[in-house]
Amino acid sequence: MIGLVDANNFYVSCERVFDPSLEGRPVGVMSNNDGCIIARSAEMKAMEIPMGMPAFKLEALRRRGEIHLKSSNYELYGDMSARLCQLLRDACPAVSPYSIDEMFIYLEEFTDRQCQIIGEWLRRRIRRHLGLPVCVGLAPTHTLAKLANHFAKTMPDFQGVCLLQADDTTTAALLRQTPVGSVWGIGRRLAERLAVSKIHTAWDLREADVQQLRKRFSVVLARTALELRGTPCLHMNDLDQPRHRIMTSRSFGQPTGVKGQVHDALRRHAQRSAEKLRQQQSMARAVMIFLNTNRHRPDQRQYFPHAMIALPAPSDDTRAILDAVRQGLEQIYRPGYRFIKAGVMLLDLVDAEQHQLSLLNPPSRHRYPRLMATLDDINRRMGQGTISFGMTNADAAWQLRCAHRSHRYTTRWDELMQAGTHPGAIRECALRKQPLP
């Protein structure tokens, strides 16, 4: 069985771990520079405040105390994500992070019943040990596991854990009521084309003729149909779903602990990721890098660091991404480890067209779209990496507007969470520190 562990409203949940007064209240997290809403609590969703809503339109509600808005605190989210991943690694034979808040776990040697129990146990454990609510979807394939997770989240009867067997009446019933657009990797346009061929639900796609699908649509869609039947045919590398996140990672030919070599690899991945980003006409708001040592070598020191860096504004500029990668590496690199893998992930993507340039933050590199287009064109025609970036701007200003950022509780000594020895103690302590009027 393959499991997908997905944190509910991850950014909001991270905020709530360290600020219990946000529990049960409508909370939203804003993009870089407090532009628009990128994460919402269930209460905020219930108020029908949509994703991407410009934050200034919510200012009145915030002032009246009806909603809480937080600036994005990527350091905190990145750290909690690393902890979530580590907790799963401690418990499962194999884990593969898919995005900042979704991790696949592989439970091959267990029965369905055991998988269900492991899923429930993991859910309780993550809630208690990290304070994060998660849902778990379990199924024989990645595509079904993703759907199972969707059911676990949206149908209270599952109590957060949903196991789908490939051939089962429950699975069939659920697939029949699932629009095909909810299946992993099927976007709105493809769903419209499928509707013309009378494929409306996930079940219709599962029952469609695979040869026909391959001929009329694509190999990928044929594989998705097979996956819905319970035949695994997607691997982690195929899982890059456009418009969600972009990841480039590779193992080193030889394990290395040399910072320069690790940096080179990350730079290559960053440039490739930026190219993919521009290809699908998106911009990223944040960059995550990670390094892995070889976990099958218990004799060697182990280290699986992540670093998460927010970009000053959504960007598809290779130079901005390279700057972020360099910053991240400075934060996590430690000598004395033999790394076997490095990766770059671009997160919180937005459509480049829809992204309106903020008047407050005019892009300082205004000629870059042509530069980037020329770069991509040359690399496409003359081969990958014909032109690449050498030194990047070492002292870029990372001045983010983040008026409502919570403390970086887990990464800064001077921003720790406070606990009072009695009710009101935290308030009294703050008053004592204030100078007398």
Instruction: Point out which residues bind other proteins (CB under 8 A).
Output: 20-21, 23, 75, 78-79, 82-83, 86-87, 90, 128-131, 258-259, 301, 303, 305-309, 327-328, 330-336, 408-413, 416-426, 428-429
Annotate 70-83 with b (16+ C-beta within 10 A) or e (fewer). bbbbbbbbbbbbbb
C-beta of 75 vs 227, nearer to other proteins: 75
DSSP one-letter string for 219-254: HHHHHHHHHHHT-----GGGG--TTT-EEEEEEEEE
C-beta of 294 vs 327, nearer to other proteins: 327
Taking the complex as a whole, how short is the minimal distance between the CB of residue 334 and other proteins, in angstroms?
7
Instruction: Name the DSSP letter for residue 140.
Output: S
C-beta of 26 vs 230, nearer to other proteins: 26
C-beta of 83 vs 200, nearer to other proteins: 83
Cβ proximity of 43 and 26 under 8 Å: yes
Kindly calculate the radius of gyration of the chain based on its CA atoms and give it in whole angstroms: 23
DSSP bridge pairs for 83: none
Taking the complex as a whole, how short is the minimal distance between the CB of residue 79 and other proteins, in angstroms?
6
Neighbours of 270 (CB within 10 A): 28
The SS3 assignment for 50 reads: coil
Taking the complex as a whole, how short is the minimal distance between the CB of residue 286 and other proteins, in angstroms?
11
C-beta of 26 vs 328, nearer to other proteins: 328
> Which among 114, 112, 124, 111 has a CA at the least distance from the CA of 5?
124
**Maximum CA extent, the chain:** 79
Taking the complex as a whole, how short is the minimal distance between the CB of residue 20 and other proteins, in angstroms?
4
Q: Which residue is listed with tokens 């029952």?
A: 207
C-beta of 37 vs 85, nearer to other proteins: 85
Taking the complex as a whole, how short is the minimal distance between the CB of residue 152 and other proteins, in angstroms?
23
Taking the complex as a whole, how short is the minimal distance between the CB of residue 118 and other proteins, in angstroms?
17
